[in-house]
Every structure is written in C-alpha cells, then in structure tokens.
Structure 1
Amino acid sequence: MKVIVIGCTHAGTAATLQIAKRYPEAAITVYERNDNISFLSCGIALHVGGVVRNAEELFYAHPDNLAELGVQTRMRHDVLAVDTERRTVTVRNLETGDTLQDTYDKLVVTTGSWPIIPNLPGMELDNVMLCKNYAHAQAIIEKAAHAKRIAVVGAGYIGVELAEAFQQLGKKVTLFDNTPRVMFKYLDQTFTDIVEADMAEHGIELALGQGVQSLHGQEGKVTGLVTTAGEYEADLVIMCIGFRPNTGLLKDQVDMLPNGAIIVDEYMRTSCPDVYAAGDSCAIRYNPTGQPAYIPLATNAVRMGTLVALNLKQPQVKYMGTQGTSGIKIFELNIASTGLTEQAAVEAGLAVSSTVVTDNYRPEFMPTYEQALIKLVYETENGRLVGAQVLSKADLTQSVNTLSVCIQNRMTVEELGFVDFFFQPHYNKPWNLLNQAGLQARADLEAAAAKQPELA
C-alpha cells in the first residue's frame, strides 16, 4: 500500500504516525512545503510574550521521528497538483526547483488553513504581518522588539492573546475588530463585557465595531491605519482576522462547502475513492446543529488525523463530531466555551433559552474563593443543551469539557442538574456549579411554561 500525505502539522502528523504504526508494510511519503512539522501555532502568543522562551518547545514531532518509523518525509516540497482519476501528485522541490510526479493508493490531504489576507491598500508595507506558523512567530518577535505602537487586527482568540502578550512587553496596543465585541464567536455579551473591562484596565485600547479600510506608511514602512471610525498610529500591524481552508489542490474533485472546506464522512473519507482528509482543511459535523461546519482547532485535527489511520483500509471507527470546545487565559481570567453561544443559536434557527449562574466556586469558609460565572444555552422545547460558557479567576475550564460531553450525548439541562459530581471543599460546593446551572435552567423553563396561556 502506497500512501501519500500532503501537509504535516497537527492532522498530518497524527495521521502519519498512526498509519506507520498500524501498517508497517506501507510505503508512506509525506510532502511538506515548510522546513518543519507539528508546530503548535496556538503557542505563538506565549512565545511572543516570553512565557515560552524556546520556540523549539512548540514542536512535538520531528522528521527524524517519522524516519524511524520508515516514513519518507520530503520537507520543502510543494504539491502543485493532484489528479484523483490518475492517482498522481505533482510536486516541486523548493530547494532545487525540480518537479516530480508521484503515485498513490491512498491519499491523505491535511493541507490545513491559511490566514485570510484582506485586500486593503497598504498591505504590501513592511511591518504588516500574518500570524500562523513558525516563521511568522520569529518575524513577529523580531519586529516587535523595535515597535512602540502595535495594532492587532482581529479580536478572536489569537488576536486577544497577542494583544495581551504585547501589553506585557510594555507596548502600546490597539485591538481592532469589525464585530462589536471581543471573541464574538465564542462568548456572549455577559462574558465579553468582563473581558473587555479587564483588557481596558490593563491599558489595551479596544477599537471594536469598526472595519480597517487601509494602511498607510512612510518609506515603505507602515505608520498607521484607517478604519470606518478614524485613523490610528501603528508601527507594527498584525493581521489575524481568521483562516481559510487550504484546499485548492482538490477543487472540483471532491465535495466542499462554499468556503472550500472539504466535506468528509464519519470515517474521514472524501467523496473521491481512496482520498481522505483531516484537520483545518475540512468541514466537520457540528453536534449542536447536526450540520457540517468549519471549525479549525488543533484538537479536531489530531482526532481526525488519527481516525484517518484507523479507517484507511476499511471503515472501523466513526467520528463523533465536535462541539468546538475551546479555552483561553487572558490576564487573570480563565475562560472556556463549548457549542453555540446564545446569539449563534438564534442565527442557526434554534429556539433557545439561556441561564446564567454566578456563585463562588467553593465554600466561603475556605481561606480563599473566587466568583465563577457559568452560562447554559439550551433548546426551549426540550431543554437539550447546545452551548455553555464559563469564566472565573479560578481555573474551572475543565468543567467545559464535561459540558462538551453533555452536548455530544444530547443531554438535557434537567439531566445535568442531577449528574453525580464529587464534593470536596478544596474544589467545589455540595451542589456543583454545573448541577446548580442545570437545576436553575430547569426552573427557568418551568417558570416560562407557567406563563404560557393554557390551551383551549
């Protein structure tokens, strides 16, 4: 069996390692256009801020690891074309410029994603940067050392983390987004209000609800930007407004979403025989809605890559879908979310209700305790949980992993109210916060039903 893997970050690394271990007789070739594999891009902000001083620690695999398993890893090789009918790939050696053609029995496409690059005047200026890979991380650190005013465009997780890192380096930071709130996709306003107040208190300027229209500079270097609300000075601009699936190689050869994300079945198979895909290049089943969605997360990628290996010869293990579970630490706030926000649920056409519970996470007789905020989003008709958010100075983020399982298993808020959780004063209260939230949600549903006029 001859296997070709295109791209080797999270999904590609997971797939390659597992294929090599399960099928030692297979001839596996990995084509990777970069000079490294398995870079944890989620650690870029930690590296920029000096928390992770050695960038080599952000790699968890090396071509030598694959070579020990008999994998031929061809670094700095860019796949130019795929012909799924002839089962061939055309590849350019970026070191020599030579091209070659290779054949496969099984093709694994783990080409990931690439930052969205806005079509704005001034994007060609020096010190306007993207944030995705190892090279970007090193360049950002180098440029930031000489910058005084930094503009971060995009207030998702990456943008918020970079803003924090730059602030801790003593830079003047402005965070821009065309949505009205930070982390708009992940949190509802009750939570983002707290985060925004905390960021402002730490000196980060928030320029929300305004789109960047152009960049301007002098002598080829950026000096500022113009938005729908005004002009701002900046000598370094980081663009992190989102990602697009990197799937041009399979255009018109497999089924895709309108944004180019490859549609795979529950065994990671594309619509083309013997072509598998995984990671940020793919759409995946989003359990809160049951529909395919594009959710580029490293956790999804490693699961999907592993499933490619398990199902390469025959279907064995089904993908369970995702809730898009994620977490972030900003200054002293620990935040996590899973599933739909209330706003996203409404936009998806679901009839939902929500409950917010605020309480200290452990008994007040303990020497210290912190307030926690938890929100549940659930269907009004049956109480099925579809989303949740947690915020506290105490690290309660693992509770969102529990809520992710609840959503995956289509549990109701009533069932959540009576789940068996342990009690120990060091960690929680006799009624766990999740129990409290489930019981309060049940009561809220009952109260709402009681207000409905009786049917004639």
Structure 2
Amino acid sequence: MKIAVIGSTHAGTAAATNIANLYPESTITVYERNDNVSFLSCGLALYVGGVVNDPQGLFYSSPEKMRELGITMKMQHDVKEIDTDRQLIHASNLVTGESVTDHYDKLVMTTGSQAITPPIEGMNLDNVLFAKNYNQANTIIERAEQAEHVTVVGAGYIGVELVEAFEKGGKRVTLIDGADRILNKYLDPEFTDDVEADFRTRNIELALSQTVERIEGQDGSVKSVITNKGKYETDLVIMCVGFRPNTGLLKGKVDMLNNGAIKVNDYMQTSDPAIFAAGDCCAVKYNPTEGYAYIPLATNAVRMGTLVARNLIEPTIANVGTQGTSGLHIYDLNMASTGLTETSACLMGTHVKSVTIEDNHRPNFMPTAENVKLKVSFDPDTRRILGAQVLSKADVTQSINTISVGIQHGMTIDELAFVDFFFQPHFNQPWNFLNKAGLEANLSVKQPELV
C-alpha cells in the first residue's frame, strides 16, 4: 500500500511514524515544504528568550530518524496539486525545481495552519516578521539583537510569551491587539486583568482595542506602527494575529467548515474515503458544545495523527474529542483553561452559569501559601461542567487537566464537590479548591424543606 503524508510537524510526524511501526510493509512518502520536521512551536518564545539554549531540543524527530523507519522523506518539496480522482500528487522540489508526480492509495493531510497575514500597508518592510516555525524563530533572534523597541501585534499565547521574552531581554515592548484585553480567547476578564496589571508593572505598553492601519518605514526598514488610535515608534514588528487552516489543496474536494478546516469523522477520515486528515488543518470534535470547532493545538495534532495510523485500514479507535485544554506560564503566574469560558460561551450562543472561588493553595499554618483563583462554568439546566480557568503563583495547573477529564465524561458541578482528592499540607487543603467550587455551586440548588 502506498501512503502519502503531506506536512510533517506534529500531526504528520505522529501519523507517519506510527504507520511505519504498525505497517512496516507499507510504502510511506512524506512531503515537507521545510528542511526540518516536528518543530515544537509552543517552545518558540522560550527559544527566542534564551531559556532553551539548544534548539535541537525543540524537535522530537528528524528526517534521519524517520528514514530509519523506512519512510521516504521528500524534504523541501512543495505539493502544488492533488488529483483526488486519479489519486495523484503533483509536487515541486524547491531546491532543484524538479517536478514530481506520485500515486497514493491513502493520503494523509497534515498541512497544518498558516499565519494570518493582515492586508496592511507596510507588511513587506524589513523587520516585519512572523512567529511560527524554526526558521522564523532564528530570524527573530537575529533581528532582535539590533532592536531596542519591539512591537508585538496579537495578544494570544505566542504574542504574550514573546512580550515576556523581549522584556526580559532588555527591550522596550509594545503589545497591540484589537480586543479590549489580552488572552481573551482563553481566559475571562478577572484573570486577564491580573496578567495585564503584571505587564504594566514591568513597563510593557499595552495598546488594546486598537487596529493596525499601516506600518511605516524608512529605507525599507520599520520605523513605526500606526493604529486607529496612535503611532508607535519601533525597530521590530512581530505579527501574531492568529492562524488559519492550510487546506487550499483540497478546497472543493472534501467537506470543510466555513473557515477551511477539514471535517473528519471519529476515525480521522474525510468525506473522501481515501483521504485522512489531522492536526491544525482540521476541525476537532469539541466536547463542551458537542459540535466541531477549530482549535489549533499541538496536543490535538499529535493525538489525531496517532489516530490516523490506528484507523488507516479500518475503523479501530474513535476520537474521544477535545476540551481545548491549554496552559501558560508568564513571569510568576501560572494559568490554564479548558472548555468554555463565559466569554467564549457568549460568542457561541451557549448559556452558562459560573462559580468563582479564591483560596490559598495550602493551609495557612504552612510557611508560605499562594492565592488560587478558580472559575468553573456549567450548564444551569443539566449542571454538566463545560469549562474552567485557574490562575496562581503556585503551579496548580494540573487541576485543569482534572476538569478536562470531567468534561469529557459528563461530570456535573455537584459531583465535583465530592470527588475524592488526597490531602497533604505541602500540596493542598483538606477541602481541595476544586471541591470548594462544586460546594459553592451546590449552595445555589434549592434544598427540600424541613417538615
């Protein structure tokens, strides 16, 4: 059987290596546009900030390792067209210019996502950079050495992580975003307010509720960013305004969401039985709403790529779905979220009720204890948990993994109140803060009257 894999970051690497292990007699060819595979882009800001000194640690595989498994690696090959009727791939060697045509029995689309390029005047100026892959990270490091003032456009995870990296590197930093607060896709205001306050104490300039209208330069280099509310002199601009699925090769050939994310069934198969898809090019099964959503995360990609291999020949293991669980460490703050926030629920037209508690992460008789802020959202009718957020200087982020499992299995907020958690004064309180959230929510339930 001839299997073609297009793209080899998280999902593609997971799919190809698992297929090679499960079906060593198969012929596997990977087409990759870059000269590397499996780059952990979630470590990009750590690399830029010098926390990661050896960039090789950001790769969990290599073309050489994959070739050892018998996989044919077509590195620096750009796939130009897919003929789904005749099951042919047409590609171009980016080094030699040679055209390549190949046949497949099964095709695995793991083309990932691409950075959104806003239609802004001045985007072609020198020192306007994007932050996604390894080569871009190296360019950022090189250009940042000569920059005194860095402007980051986009206040999502990568944007705020880069802000921290640049500020720690002694740069003046401006963060611009069209929303009225940072990290608005992941956390509600009572959490982002704390992070913003921390940024301001470090003299990071927050230019929120502002849209970039143009970027001005001189002699081809950036000089300033112009928004609808002001002008910001700068030496370097990093665009982090989001990602879109990279699925143009299959447009009109398989079913997709309106944004171009490929629809797959529970076994990673597209509407074309010969084509499987995984990773950032796909829509994912989103358990809090029991629908589908576009959530580009490395964790989702690796799981989906592994499932492709398990289900390539016949349906074997179904995808259990995702809660979009993620975490972040910024300066002294640890934060994580899973499922719906009140903000995202409102945007989706989903009614939720929430309970928020603040508590020390361990007893007051211990030498130190840090405040924990936890918010849990749930369906007011079924009382099924739909999401949670946590923030603390103590690392209690694993609690969000616990809630993620609860959402996946339909746990109610009332059940959360009485889940069996261990107690040990070094780590927590006799009543775990997760229990306390459930107890707080349970107080709102009308109790039977005494007779």
Instruction: Report the TM-score range of the alignment, normalised by the length of the smaller protein.
Output: over 0.9
Alpha-carbon distance in structure 1 between the residues aligned to 2:119 and 2:51: 33
| Corresponding residue for residue 142 of structure 2 | 142
> Is residue 156 of structure 1 aligned with residue 156 of structure 2?
yes
Alpha-carbon distance in structure 2 between the residues aligned to 1:445 and 1:207: 43
| Corresponding residue for residue 123 of structure 2 | 123
What residue ranges of structure 1 are gaps of 5+ in the alignment?
Answer: 451-456
| Corresponding residue for residue 292 of structure 2 | 292
> Is residue 54 of structure 1 aligned with residue 54 of structure 2?
yes
AA of the residue aligned to 2:84:
T
Alpha-carbon distance in structure 2 between the residues aligned to 1:446 and 1:424: 33
Alpha-carbon distance in structure 2 between the residues aligned to 1:346 and 1:358: 24
Alpha-carbon distance in structure 1 between the residues aligned to 2:183 and 2:158: 9
Alpha-carbon distance in structure 1 between the residues aligned to 2:322 and 2:373: 24
Alpha-carbon distance in structure 2 between the residues aligned to 1:297 and 1:444: 35
| Corresponding residue for residue 440 of structure 1 | 440
Alpha-carbon distance in structure 2 between the residues aligned to 1:320 and 1:40: 24
Structure 1 residue 349, shift from structure 2 partner: 2.0
| Corresponding residue for residue 454 of structure 1 | none
Structure 1 residue 346, shift from structure 2 partner: 2.2
User: What SS does structure 2 have at the residue aligned with 1:263?
Assistant: coil
AA of the residue aligned to 2:90:
T
| Corresponding residue for residue 275 of structure 2 | 275
| Corresponding residue for residue 213 of structure 2 | 213
* Contact 1:152–1:174 (Cα < 8 Å) also in 2: yes
Alpha-carbon distance in structure 2 between the residues aligned to 1:276 and 1:200: 46
Alpha-carbon distance in structure 1 between the residues aligned to 2:157 and 2:202: 17
Offset from partner CA, 1:129-170 (integer Å, 9 cap, x none): 000000100000000000011100000000000000000000
What residue ranges of structure 2 are gaps of 5+ in the alignment?
Answer: none
User: What SS does structure 1 have at the residue aligned with 2:207?
Assistant: strand
* Contact 1:126–1:221 (Cα < 8 Å) also in 2: yes
Alpha-carbon distance in structure 2 between the residues aligned to 1:404 and 1:392: 18
Alpha-carbon distance in structure 1 between the residues aligned to 2:6 and 2:35: 14
| Corresponding residue for residue 362 of structure 1 | 362
* Contact 1:254–1:262 (Cα < 8 Å) also in 2: yes
Alpha-carbon distance in structure 2 between the residues aligned to 1:439 and 1:382: 16
Offset from partner CA, 1:167-201 (integer Å, 9 cap, x none): 00000000010001100000000001001001111
| Corresponding residue for residue 189 of structure 1 | 189
How many residue pairs are counted as aligned between the two chains? 449
| Corresponding residue for residue 315 of structure 1 | 315
| Corresponding residue for residue 13 of structure 1 | 13
| Corresponding residue for residue 36 of structure 1 | 36
Alpha-carbon distance in structure 1 between the residues aligned to 2:194 and 2:187: 11
User: What SS does structure 2 have at the residue aligned with 1:356?
Assistant: strand
Structure 1 residue 351, shift from structure 2 partner: 2.0
Alpha-carbon distance in structure 2 between the residues aligned to 1:440 and 1:85: 58
| Corresponding residue for residue 103 of structure 2 | 103
Structure 1 residue 446, shift from structure 2 partner: 4.2
Alpha-carbon distance in structure 2 between the residues aligned to 1:41 and 1:77: 21
AA of the residue aligned to 1:391:
L
Structure 1 residue 445, shift from structure 2 partner: 4.5
Residue identity (%): 59
Please identify runs of 4+ aligned residues in structure 1 that moved more than 4 A. none
AA of the residue aligned to 2:253:
Q
User: What SS does structure 2 have at the residue aligned with 1:255?
Assistant: coil
Alpha-carbon distance in structure 1 between the residues aligned to 2:108 and 2:446: 50
TM-score of the aligned structures, taking structure 1 as reference length: 0.97
* Contact 1:388–1:403 (Cα < 8 Å) also in 2: yes
Offset from partner CA, 1:184-229 (integer Å, 9 cap, x none): 0000000010010011111211111111111001111010111111
AA of the residue aligned to 2:98:
D
> Is residue 241 of structure 1 aligned with residue 241 of structure 2?
yes
AA of the residue aligned to 2:83:
D
Offset from partner CA, 1:373-429 (integer Å, 9 cap, x none): 000011111211111000000000111000001111111100111111111111101
User: What SS does structure 1 have at the residue aligned with 2:283?
Assistant: strand
Structure 1 residue 347, shift from structure 2 partner: 2.3
* Contact 1:383–1:442 (Cα < 8 Å) also in 2: no
AA of the residue aligned to 2:325:
T
* Contact 1:355–1:444 (Cα < 8 Å) also in 2: no
User: What SS does structure 2 have at the residue aligned with 1:318?
Assistant: coil
Alpha-carbon distance in structure 2 between the residues aligned to 1:64 and 1:137: 22
Structure 2 counterparts to residues 312-351 of structure 1, below 5 A: 312-351=312-351
Alpha-carbon distance in structure 1 between the residues aligned to 2:382 and 2:137: 47
* Contact 1:376–1:441 (Cα < 8 Å) also in 2: no
* Contact 1:279–1:300 (Cα < 8 Å) also in 2: yes
Alpha-carbon distance in structure 2 between the residues aligned to 1:436 and 1:236: 46
Alpha-carbon distance in structure 2 between the residues aligned to 1:349 and 1:77: 43
> Is residue 376 of structure 1 aligned with residue 376 of structure 2?
yes
| Corresponding residue for residue 222 of structure 1 | 222
Structure 1 residue 444, shift from structure 2 partner: 3.2
Alpha-carbon distance in structure 1 between the residues aligned to 2:381 and 2:261: 33
User: What SS does structure 2 have at the residue aligned with 1:160?
Assistant: helix
Alpha-carbon distance in structure 2 between the residues aligned to 1:412 and 1:326: 21
Alpha-carbon distance in structure 1 between the residues aligned to 2:32 and 2:290: 33
Alpha-carbon distance in structure 2 between the residues aligned to 1:45 and 1:352: 34
Q: Sort the Cα spacing of 1:446 and 1:298 in 2 relative to 1 into closer, same or farther, 3 A.
A: farther
AA of the residue aligned to 1:305:
G
TM-score of the aligned structures, taking structure 2 as reference length: 0.98
User: What SS does structure 2 have at the residue aligned with 1:173?
Assistant: strand
User: What SS does structure 1 have at the residue aligned with 2:136?
Assistant: helix
> Is residue 353 of structure 1 aligned with residue 369 of structure 2?
no
AA of the residue aligned to 2:436:
Q
| Corresponding residue for residue 3 of structure 2 | 3
Alpha-carbon distance in structure 2 between the residues aligned to 1:131 and 1:68: 31
